[in-house]
Amino acid sequence: MQDPISFIDLAAQQRRIRDRIDARLARIMDTGAYILGPDVKELEAALSDYAGLAHTLGCASGTDALMLPLMAWQIGPGDAVFVPSFTFAATAEVVALVGASPVFVDVLPDTFNMDPESLDRAILQIRDAGKLTPKAIIAVDLFGQIADYPSIRAIADTYGLKLISDAAQGFGSTLNGEQAGRFADVVATSFYPAKPLGCYGDGGAVQTDDAELDAIMRSLHVHGQGTDRYDNVRIGITGRLDTFQAAVLLEKLPLFDEEIAARQRVAEIYEKGLRDLVITPEIMDGAVSTYAQYTIRIRGGRRAQFMARMRDAGVPTVIYYGKPLHKQTAYLSYPVESGALPVCDALCEEVVSLPMHPYLERDTQQRIIDAARAALDDARAA
């Protein structure tokens, strides 16, 4: 019997830092600093340093991190926020939660990220329709690859829109050495355990160079507090990052760059082993992906059979995402660029993600590649 293969292996990383995490958690229990303890401040400073941005606010989740800038800018009913449809629901959910309207935009077939031309058309369509006011764009760094920020920033500037980076999957990814914060007004990330930089529960962060925006978001994340804890100057939320999670992240952050490098090696091996049979991920020139997922495309309706064969061979595979957001029940009433998003629709039929994490060993990965090649042969013969 061969060892089972995990889709993501969090245990290998934990073995490297377990003692240090234990010590930090013990210190929190000794001092009782459960809410906004010193680890949160320390982490915020470390993350600002990592991203090269002036301000970082720890949040209870990536979803809160995405929602806080919308709240701070008072985006709400009658406003339009442009989002890709091929993403996790939270990207559009936060827009609806503040009462604004998500407007769904298509993605590029090679990078899976927001298509700047579709974005431009969507903005013009909304402007011409005259019912909603364009306010902001949320670009997603899907599967770890940074979005095409130079193009998207130019569009944001043309129409005077705010730009949020949903870096839940792509925190740490770069384009010509620069992270999303170089282009976006705000970067929101998630520390959900399965993300490239994950904690041991829920967590997130929102980062910006804008001191005033940071101050408003900081207030919003503790019930809109003013100068005094019981002086509420705006309607807010309970959006704090848990001190225990900050402690875990402080021990994980020093490993992060090394892990991103390890993910590149895993991706290269997949690329060499599979590119003649399937469509492997396309990375933009000058970009470094954090490979939150390693997602291939299988055409011709062979995906289900491929996944069944992989399961038989003991290899887990997952579909991210099987249905675009604009076709999900909760989002059916919101505008869609030109009424249809053909690339999002096609990708949802074709994508499948393979096991990917920085601790994937060479021989285990070879088993996955061998299984995939056999599964593709079977699927082709059928």
Q: Which of these ranges, 129-137, 163-171, 174-182, 205-213, lies near ligand PLP under the rule CB under 6 A?
A: 163-171
Give CA–CA dist 160/173, Å, rounded.
26
How many helices (H) and strands (E) in the chain? Answer: 12, 11
Closest to ligand PLP by CB, 86 vs 306, is 86
Residue 327 CB, nearest approach to ligand PLP (Å):
17
Residue nearest to ligand PLP (CB): 62
Residue of 292, 345, 286, 243 lying closest to 149 (CA atoms): 286
Considering only residues 106-145, where is the footprint of ligand PLP by CB under 6 A? 140
- Binding status of residue 85 toward ligand PLP by CB under 6 A: no
Residue 206 CB, nearest approach to ligand PLP (Å):
12
- Binding status of residue 88 toward ligand PLP by CB under 6 A: yes
Among the listed residues 72, 122, 168, 344, the single contact to ligand PLP using CB under 6 A: 168
Considering only residues 185-204, where is the footprint of ligand PLP by CB under 6 A? 190, 192, 202, 204
Closest to ligand PLP by CB, 309 vs 326, is 326
Pairing of strands 204-208, 186-190: antiparallel
Residue of 15, 10, 1 lying closest to 360 (CA atoms): 10
Residue by residue, DSSP assigns 171-191 as: TT-EETTB-GGGT-SEEEEE-
Q: Say which amino acid occupies 96.
A: A
Among the listed residues 113, 118, 165, 169, the single contact to ligand PLP using CB under 6 A: 169
Give CA–CA dist 105/324, Å, rounded.
11
Tokens of 117: 């031309």
Tokens of 374: 């056999």
Closest to ligand PLP by CB, 48 vs 113, is 113
Residues 6 or more apart in contact with residue 94 via CB below 8 angstroms: 63, 66, 67, 70
Residue 66 CB, nearest approach to ligand PLP (Å):
6
- Binding status of residue 166 toward ligand PLP by CB under 6 A: yes
Spell 279-313 as b/e; 16+ CB within 10 A means b.
Answer: bbbebbeebbbbbbbbbbbbeeebbebbbebbeeb
Closest to ligand PLP by CB, 171 vs 306, is 171
Considering only residues 141-160, where is the footprint of ligand PLP by CB under 6 A? none
Residues annotated catalytic, as ranges:
195
Considering only residues 8-67, where is the footprint of ligand PLP by CB under 6 A? 61-63
Give the residue ranges of DSSP H helices in the chain. 11-31, 38-51, 62-72, 90-97, 116-129, 149-159, 211-220, 243-252, 256-274, 303-312, 342-350, 362-381
Count the site residues for ligand PLP by CB under 6 A. Answer: 15
Residues 6 or more apart in contact with residue 126 via CB below 8 angstroms: 80, 103, 132, 134, 335
Among the listed residues 83, 90, 267, 351, the single contact to ligand PLP using CB under 6 A: 90
Residue of 205, 204, 206, 165 lying closest to 183 (CA atoms): 165
Residue 229 CB, nearest approach to ligand PLP (Å):
26
Residue 338 CB, nearest approach to ligand PLP (Å):
23
Closest to ligand PLP by CB, 65 vs 247, is 65
Give CA–CA dist 56/46, Å, rounded.
9
Residue 221 CB, nearest approach to ligand PLP (Å):
14
Residue 308 CB, nearest approach to ligand PLP (Å):
26
Check: CB of residue 207 under 8 Å from CB of residue 55. Answer: yes
Give CA–CA dist 217/84, Å, rounded.
24
Closest to ligand PLP by CB, 269 vs 319, is 319
Considering only residues 210-269, where is the footprint of ligand PLP by CB under 6 A? none
Closest to ligand PLP by CB, 61 vs 365, is 61
Residues forming contacts to ligand PLP in the complex (CB under 6 A) are 61-63, 87-88, 90-91, 140, 166, 168-169, 190, 192, 202, 204
